[in-house]
């Protein structure tokens, strides 16, 4: 035990000693940009899958004669597949690499979209949706992890947030395209980014940190040099990655129970808590069924969907810009406060409608509330939990921790997406008051438990949050 403690005590000075300006770069190389764009093609697939169920609802229910319960099952089975994907995502990414895992996930997404597009019966439809969900569950973990591991600390927040930006693009453009095409064509459109990523992955370097962890030192150096540019000095960054990785190798292969040890408590509380609050704030209930939500509130579903798309994209882009300027915590708290306000406005709109008060203005209040929720969520709560998750766990625990955090996210997503239509029929006012309360609690949770990771290398963050010494 004493030896481990001494090694841990030596770790932080080591990290600090290598924290100098030559470590990172302030500009992105063309290979880094290309690698990020290829990886976030998977994020776009994620977005199309979330956005698909809203514009397709009436067409699918009519053509395949589905009941509300059957369509709710179709909408929510996406998250069942994602739960399975989340369980295996961490181990997959550890064993076959970040790049191989993304390609593996896209094969399932491609098959799923084709099954949906050519389905003749409900079970074809559900199977296709579940396959897409499995791919999504894997993508939701591996894409932000991959981006965080290939980018320098000055750019990591903004680049990792592009994951959420592309999810937002996928959702918004699927809503827009769904206004003009039928549900089968929309499914075929969803398959296009799967092909783009599969074609682009062979030209993308593997994560240097994964290569270092798997004793591929020369490949690690070559990949890091490509990502930083051939003219850049990578010696300090390479030394830090290899030194930290070698220290981690002195410890035995972790088990699931190791994840719940005291030294990982801060990371686990922050990661799991953020993911649970993100989902139980209601985002997937609104996202999956936004068109029917607007109709119930007395507003045009098509116009509302277009307005929502117009708000989401610029707000997500603003979040990308602000990520490495304002830091993670302030942006998270502002975002959570905005989602709280948005849900409160929607709840009041339905309350006024039930009480037959302000009937001319309540639909506009619902529109404002949904737009405020969506814009605020896109600003921070959509992306930052995944950014934080990709930063706070050490490389030896990322597989297990990432699977657990992703599993929590997708279980929460399934609960909300499956129950949303039923809860909306139960009490449209009550469900949005509940969502508002959860979003308000999120502000307090961030203030208490979530660390600021802006401007710090992954090794610095992990050394500070997860001491490697063990204690009796």
Number of compact structural domains in the chain: 1
Provide the pLDDT confidence category of residue 245 given band limits of 50, 70 and 90. confident
Tokens of 390: 């990709």
C-beta of residue 194 within 8 angstroms of C-beta of residue 317: no
Residues 359 and 190: their CA atoms lie apart, in Å, by 39
Range of the domain at 173: 27-204+251-465
Say how many residues make up the chain: 472
pLDDT tens digits, one per residue of 328-339:
888 899 999 999
Q: Domain for residue 233, yes or no?
A: no
- pLDDT reading at 349 higher than 60: yes
Task: Classify residue 257 by burial, with Cβ atoms within 10 Å: 0-12, 13-18, 19+.
Answer: exposed
Q: State the angle between helix axes of 122-150 and 30-63 in degrees (0 to 180), rounded to the nearest 10.
A: 160
What is the reported pLDDT for 25? 39
Query: Which residue in this structure is represented by tokens 């070698």?
Result: 246
Q: What CATH number corresponds to the domain at position 111? A: 1.20.1250.20
C-beta of residue 378 within 8 angstroms of C-beta of residue 312: yes
Provide the pLDDT confidence category of residue 162 given band limits of 50, 70 and 90. confident
Residues 26 and 37: their CA atoms lie apart, in Å, by 18
Q: Domain for residue 320, yes or no?
A: yes
- pLDDT reading at 27 higher than 70: no
pTM above 0.85, yes or no: no
DSSP state letters, 324-393: HHH-HHHHHHHHHHHHHHHHHHHHHHHHHHHTT-STTTHHHHHHHHHHHHHHHIIIIITTHHHHHHHHHS
Q: Cα Rg for the chain, rounded, in angstroms?
A: 22
Mean pLDDT of the chain: 81
Residues 452 and 324: their CA atoms lie apart, in Å, by 11
- pLDDT reading at 439 higher than 70: yes
Q: Domain for residue 19, yes or no?
A: no
Residues 32 and 17: their CA atoms lie apart, in Å, by 26
Q: Domain for residue 238, yes or no?
A: no
- pLDDT reading at 95 higher than 80: yes
- pLDDT reading at 19 higher than 50: no
What does the longest C-alpha to C-alpha distance in the chain come to? Answer: 72
Tokens of 226: 């490509």
CA 443-448-449 angle, to 5 degrees, is 100
Provide the pLDDT confidence category of residue 471 given band limits of 50, 70 and 90. very low
Provide the pLDDT confidence category of residue 442 given band limits of 50, 70 and 90. very high
Residues 125 and 114: their CA atoms lie apart, in Å, by 10
DSSP 3-state of 90: helix
Q: Domain for residue 16, yes or no?
A: no
What is the reported pLDDT for 200? 93
Q: Domain for residue 303, yes or no?
A: yes
Q: Domain for residue 15, yes or no?
A: no
pLDDT tens digits, one per residue of 36-82:
999 999 889 888 988 888 788 888 888 888 887 788 788 778 888 88
What is the reported pLDDT for 438? 94
Instruction: Determine how many CB atoms are found less than 10 A away from the CB of residue 189.
Output: 18
- Give Cα separations from 7 to 11, 239, 251, 319, 462 (angstroms): 6, 17, 11, 38, 15
Q: Domain for residue 239, yes or no?
A: no
- pLDDT reading at 15 higher than 50: no
More confident residue, 385 or 472: 385
Query: Which residue in this structure is represented by tokens 């599969």?
Result: 198
DSSP 3-state of 123: helix
């Amino acid at each position: 035990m004493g030896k481990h403690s001494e090694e841990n005590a030596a770790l932080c000075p080591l990290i600090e000693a290598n924290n100098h300006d030559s470590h990172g770069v302030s500009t992105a190389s063309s290979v880094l940009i290309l690698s990020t764009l290829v990886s976030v093609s998977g994020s776009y697939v994620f977005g199309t899958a979330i956005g698909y169920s809203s514009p397709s609802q009436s067409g699918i229910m009519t053509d395949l004669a589905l009941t509300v319960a059957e369509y709710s099952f179709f909408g929510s089975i996406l998250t069942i597949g994602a739960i399975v994907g989340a369980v295996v995502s961490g181990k997959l990414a550890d064993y076959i690499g970040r790049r191989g895992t993304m390609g593996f996930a896209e094969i399932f997404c491609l098959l799923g979209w084709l099954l949906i597009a050519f389905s003749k019966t409900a079970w074809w439809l559900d199977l296709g949706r579940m396959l897409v969900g499995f791919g999504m569950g894997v993508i939701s973990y591996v894409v932000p992890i991959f981006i965080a591991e290939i980018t320098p600390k000055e750019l990591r927040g903004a680049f990792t947030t592009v994951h959420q930006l592309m999810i937002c693009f996928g959702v918004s453009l699927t809503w827009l395209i769904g206004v003009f095409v039928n549900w089968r064509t929309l499914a075929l459109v969803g398959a296009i980014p799967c092909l783009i990523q599969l074609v682009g992955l062979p030209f993308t370097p593997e994560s240097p940190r994964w290569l270092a962890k798997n004793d591929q030192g020369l490949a690690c150096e070559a990949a890091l040099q490509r990502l930083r540019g051939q003219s850049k000095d990578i010696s300090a960054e390479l030394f830090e990655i290899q030194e930290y990785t070698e220290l981690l190798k002195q410890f035995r292969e972790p088990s699931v129970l190791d994840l719940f040890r005291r030294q990982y408590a801060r990371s686990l509380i922050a990661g799991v808590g953020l993911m649970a609050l993100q989902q139980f704030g209601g985002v997937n209930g609104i996202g999956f069924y936004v068109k029917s939500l607007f109709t119930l509130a007395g507003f045009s579903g098509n116009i509302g969907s277009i307005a929502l798309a117009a708000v989401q994209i610029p707000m997500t882009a603003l979040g990308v810009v602000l990520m490495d300027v304002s830091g993670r915590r302030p942006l998270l708290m502002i975002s959570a406060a905005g989602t709280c306000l948005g849900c409160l406005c929607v709840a009041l709109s339905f309350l006024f409608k039930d009480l037959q008060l302000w009937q001319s203005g309540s639909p506009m209040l619902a529109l404002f509330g949904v737009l405020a929720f969506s814009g605020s969520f896109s600003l921070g709560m959509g992306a930052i939990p995944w950014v934080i998750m990709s930063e706070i766990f050490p490389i030896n625990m990322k597989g297990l921790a990432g699977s657990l955090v992703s599993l929590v996210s997708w279980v929460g997503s399934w609960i909300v997406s499956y129950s949303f239509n039923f809860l909306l029929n139960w009490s449209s006012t009550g469900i949005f008051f509940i969502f508002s309360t959860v979003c308000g609690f999120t502000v307090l949770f961030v203030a208490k438990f979530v660390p600021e990771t802006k401007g710090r290398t992954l090794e610095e963050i992990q050394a500070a949050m997860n001491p490697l010494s063990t204690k009796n």
